[in-house]
Amino acid sequence: MVWWAILLIGLTLLLACFLSGMPIFIAFLLINIVGVLIILGQPGFGMVANSIFETTNFADLSAIPLFIMMGELLFRSGSIDILFDSVDKLVGRVKGRQYVLCIALSTVFGALSGAAMGVAAMMARTLFPGMLDRGYDARMSTGAILAGASLAPIIPPSVLVIIIGTLANVSIAGLLIAGILPGLMLAGMFLVYTLTRVRLNPKLAAEDTATSTAEVTFAEKVRAVVRVLPFAMIIFCVMGLILLGVATPSESAATGVIGALATAAYYRKLDWKMFSESLASAAFIASMILVIMASSKMFSQLLAFTGSTRELTQVVADLGLSAHVMLFIMMLIPFILCMFIDQVALMLVVIPIYQPLIRSLEFDPIWFWLLMLLNVTVGGITPPFGYTIFAFKGATDRVSLQQVFSATWPFVGIFLIGMLVIAAFPPIATYLPTLL
Amino acid sequence: MLHPLIWVHDRLTDLGFQLGKLCLGIILFSYSFEVVSRYFFNAPTWWADEAVSYSLCIGCFLMMPHVTREKGHVAVTFLLELMPAQRAKPCYWLIYLLGFLVCGAAFWINLDENIRQFVRDVHLMKVKPIPKYYISVFITFGFGMSALHFLRFLDYRKIEIDQRPAGGESYE
């Protein structure tokens, strides 16, 4: 069979399996086992077993459970409530301050949590009801929370970065650090957008125009800063130790967990039950992710074995399209697919195909995979399938799913503008990694 | 009363869950110890990386049967959710059947590999080489136990449509 037929049939069957509703790991295993049987025969099964073993027996991936555990400890212990109160005090009296609070909190949570879902659910339970009660626009509030939560996978720590870095064989430390400036830039863009909308239409933040929040004294603001200092220690344990070259990303994830434990203890919120539940939740989610990664590994090996990826690279090179057009196409495909399928599953399919293309197009790997990270992150808030949306909706019943869907599009647009800016000015992504 | 085999299966799943947590604890301890030992005492350990990679593999597959039992595996279920319950039910049944067959096949493939590794005395090339099957046998355990959970889901009367076959958790 010719290479393009193998590639087309393989990808079509895989996508069909995903959309059928079967667990993603079953879909990968099914295609891989059948593929190996057809292409290599029964002797190839040893390769399937080895691909599963090699994937999960890789210490760098230990950052996944550790980053998840760090967020779990902070959310479950309630330490995050102190951060919430402090940031609330520090945000001044501006029109639409709840939007500012939402985005500021999301940015800080992004530096403490590696997953958007946890942040979205937490903000939906805590901040969102207050925003609605104050007469804030439900659609705009929803969009701000979902967009803000989506900063979590971009600003380190990030579970998605570990997965992309491992699969694409890119420096995980570099990719983690590369997310800092784009994350802050996007937070700034969300702020500018929301405040501009409030200025043009004051009804979007009804109460702030009528009654203002209580005055916070300077002393209270200083106290608020002092109270959040332990969180700065956690951020240092992760980002600081990587930047200083003291620890690898996995080690920094472990020190981040220790920092989260120390913070919970400092606020007298540490107990065995909470620790055990955080362990269980992190191990559960990590197992779920690693089983998918282990089951998918053979797919890329099969593509390589049949020569499909090599031939595809050759065909693309022969097309003679400009690098800009190629970048656009390579970003458009995952953007559309992420509306319908799981981001990790998509990356597991796309990365082995894109890797040789990136080399032939001579793209900077950190820059390209950071753009991909933004792309798949925004996939979490693009309807109809988006985990961040589901997490938010699961935590509140004060808006309909249709409202949530319509709320996300302006912020998806901002994400896309952000991606364009980074595509045009690569140093936004590549400058910090050069300091490592 | 639960059938004794089902009881044993559930207890093994529970045990895997608890040991899976322990593995994560070992990962946390190993790397924390390594960082302190390396940077404060200038004495890097030889065992931390090995303990972490082994614990990750073992913990992942010890936890897997519990994830399967809780229907926690990620799946794209929005098309199934759009279906009327009567049509969705046989689809779920088919998915569980496929889950059983695929996990069963993965169990068999890994068991075959475990036996090969044992017979040929394959060792892992690490600082302290150990037989490979010491670790890889947990992969077989994970798939085998998960296959049995999918088999148990096949009881058509017990399929609840409001329970998604997967997707309760995520990780973005």
Q: For residue range B87-117, what is the model confidence (pLDDT) as tens digits? A: 889 999 999 999 999 999 999 999 999 999 9
Residue A372: C-alpha distances to residues A175, A194, A385, B29, B89 (Å): 11, 25, 18, 33, 37
Residue A201: C-alpha distances to residues A130, A137, A140, A204 (Å): 20, 11, 12, 6
- Selected for mutation to probe chain A from B29, B60, B118 (highest A CB count within 10 Å) is B60
For residue B95, the chain A residue with the least C-alpha distance is: A22
| % of residues, chain B, pLDDT over 90 | 71
Is B139–A246 a contact, with Cβ atoms under 8 angstroms apart? no
Residue A215's pLDDT is: 74
Is A65–B24 a contact, with Cβ atoms under 8 angstroms apart? yes
Q: Which value does ipTM take for this structure? A: 0.92
Higher pLDDT, B63 or A76: B63
**pLDDT tens column, A33-87:** 999 999 889 989 999 999 999 999 999 899 999 999 998 999 888 888 888 888 8
Is A24–B64 a contact, with Cβ atoms under 8 angstroms apart? no
Residue A117's pLDDT is: 85
Residue A306's pLDDT is: 85
Is B52–A159 a contact, with Cβ atoms under 8 angstroms apart? no
Residue A213's pLDDT is: 55
Q: State how far residue B160 is from chain A, nearest Cα, in angstroms.
A: 15
Query: In this structure, which amino acid lies at residue A51?
Result: S
Where chain A has pLDDT below 50, the residues are 210-212
Is A246–B170 a contact, with Cβ atoms under 8 angstroms apart? no
From A332, A410, A334, select the one nearest A379 (Cα to Cα): A334
Residue A272's pLDDT is: 94
Residue A212's pLDDT is: 47
Q: Is B137 helix (H, G, I), strand (E, B) or coil?
A: helix
Burial of B26 (0-12, 13-18, 19+ CB in 10 A): middle
From A383, A406, A389, A394, select the one nearest A137 (Cα to Cα): A406
For residue B67, the chain A residue with the least C-alpha distance is: A284
Residue B172 has pLDDT above 60, yes or no: no
Measured CA to CA, the distance from residue A177 to residue A181 in angstroms comes to: 8
Residue A126's pLDDT is: 84
Q: State how far residue A130 is from chain B, nearest Cα, in angstroms.
A: 26
Residue A412: C-alpha distances to residues A221, A383, A403, A415, B52 (Å): 34, 10, 15, 5, 38
Is B169–A288 a contact, with Cβ atoms under 8 angstroms apart? yes
Tokens of A161: 């970065």
Give me the residue from B35, B72, B105 closest to A247, CB to CB.
Answer: B35
Residue A419's pLDDT is: 97
